[in-house]
Amino acid sequence: MLIGEFRHNLDPKGRITIPSKFRDDLSVFVMTKGLDNCLFLYPKDQWEKIENKLKELPMTNKAVRSFVRTFFSGAVDCVLDKQGRVLIAENLRDYANLEDKCVIIGLSNRAEVWSEDNWNKYNEEEALSYEELAEKMSELGI
């Protein structure tokens, strides 16, 4: 299971070390543009589930076409090197504003890579309080 928050730096070649706790789940994975200017890292089995769901959506819907184009065009198959690192493609680094300090978070079935600045800003400005989020989740039956 992918859980926790870890801080790592990009090396000069644009590689990031995947936390050792995540390496079993992310030895082979797909990286793509996420929401809120982060990157999504999906283990292969989770990627296939998402891919299958997206294939079922109506391509006659303009929003679906736009989302699918962005989601799949930014996707990259990834394999960790012997040191547990992965190269982040330049277009994905640009999208997520990744320059040096990064935060990798686990969200059960996927991980996200954030620039440290974006992650801090998200937590300070955009995130609801934990209590407000819990209330909204209870509205969804969770």
Structure tokens, 56: 């079922």
**What DSSP designation does 56 have?**
T
Distance of CA 43 to the CA centre of its chain: 11
Tell me the two tokens of residue 69: 């184009």
Q: What is the mean pLDDT of residues 26-39?
A: 95
Q: Are 31 and 88 in contact (CB under 8 A)?
A: yes
Q: Cα(48)–Cα(34) distance, rounded to whole angstroms?
A: 16
Does residue 125 register a pLDDT over 80?
no
Domain ranges of the chain: 2-115
- Show the CA angle centred on residue 71, arms to residues 67 and 44, nearest 5°: 135
Looking from the CA of 31 toward its CB, the CA atoms found within 13 Å total: 26
What kind of fold does domain 2-115 have according to CATH? Chemotaxis protein chec (3.40.1550)
Q: What is the pLDDT of residues 33-56, one digit of tens each?
A: 999 999 999 999 999 999 999 999
